[in-house]
Amino acid sequence: MFFSADHIVKCFEGNRVLSDVSLSARSGEILAISGDNGSGKSTLLNILAGLVLPDTGQVLTSTEPLEAGSTKLPGCHKLTGEVRLLFQFPRLFRGLTIEENVRAGLRDPLRENMLRSILPIPAARESGARFTVQQLLKKVDLTSLSNRYPHELSFGQRKLASVVQLLAGNPSVVLLDEPFAALDGDAAMTLTSLLAENQKAGAIAILVEHDLQHIDALKTPRKFRIEAGRIMPLSERGRS
């Protein structure tokens, strides 16, 4: 699985927020992107998730590798439901309990098969969930709160619930908008190990963080910074 953003440009009311941003990732990679407030991190993730259209450029997935020195994917496909986004502020279903919310994140094979019969989307990963809902809740220490409603949880707890809701469907690409913000040390470690498991399973994770400390803790070689609308590697081993 390969994922790329190709020469993305985005302006809001004449202000160029993203200028020619290209990036690419393959299965099992974590890309960590830092940037100041207002630098365009959420805008980039929203574009990668297909929620916001770029002015120019495109977001692509492919099962074939990149050509050397290129960000252009061969045999490319438009974005599919394989990509999931964790919003900067958790968005759980208000009328569902935490357990029901996580269950809602599971894939619906019937819907996927119908979609695949009418759309030229690439073969999805196995629909079978890697973990049960109960296992996921246990991983983030929310078992005892599973029957509560989102407004009965703290902000950090809602964030962790949103993360496992996202991971419940085994997405091939997870996009996380400041996932570490507002998490305490233990919760941050839990999130780091969830991301490591996700990486081991071959998924791609692209996350943005305001705080460089969180990015350093991830120990990924693919670190970037957005500045003045451009993306640049933070380490020598990074590539855009």
Ligand X SMILES: Nc1ncnc2c1ncn2[C@@H]1O[C@H](COP(=O)(O)OP(=O)(O)OP(=O)(O)O)[C@@H](O)[C@H]1O
Residues of this chain that interact with ligand X (CB under 6 A) are 12-13, 17, 35, 37-43, 88, 210
CA distance 30 to 193: 13
**Binding-site partner at residue 40 among ligand X, Mg ion, none, CB < 5 to 8 Å by type:** ligand X
CB atoms within 10 A of CB 87: 18
User: Residue 16 or residue 138: which is nearer to ligand X going by CB?
Assistant: 16
For 11, 16, 61, 186, the CA distances from 6, given in Å and listed in that order, are 16, 17, 11, 37
Partner from ligand X, Mg ion, none contacting 157, C-beta within 5 to 8 A by type: none
| Residue 229: contacted member of Mg ion, ligand X, none (CB under 5 to 8 Å, by partner type) | none
35 binds, among ligand X, Mg ion, none (CB under 5 to 8 A by kind): ligand X
Identify the bridge partners of residue 208 per DSSP, sorted by sequence position.
Answer: 33, 177
- Which letter, b or e, does each residue of 50-60 get, where b requires 16 or more Cβ atoms within 10 Å of its Cβ? eeeebeebbbb
Of the pair 8, 133, the CB lying nearest ligand X is at: 8
d(CA 39, CA 227): 6
The dihedral through the CA atoms of 178, 48, 94, 100 has a sign that is negative
Q: How far apart are CA 84 and CA 134, in angstroms?
A: 21
The nearest distance, CB 231 to Mg ion, in angstroms, is: 15
Tell me the residue number closest to Mg ion, measured at CB: 42
Kindly tell me which of 11 and 121 has the beta carbon lying closer to ligand X. Answer: 11
Residues within the interface to Mg ion (CB under 5 A): 41-42, 88
Instruction: Choose between 10 and 222: whose C-beta lies nearer to ligand X.
Output: 10
89 binds, among Mg ion, ligand X, none (CB under 5 to 8 A by kind): none
Nearer to Mg ion, 41 or 222 (CB): 41
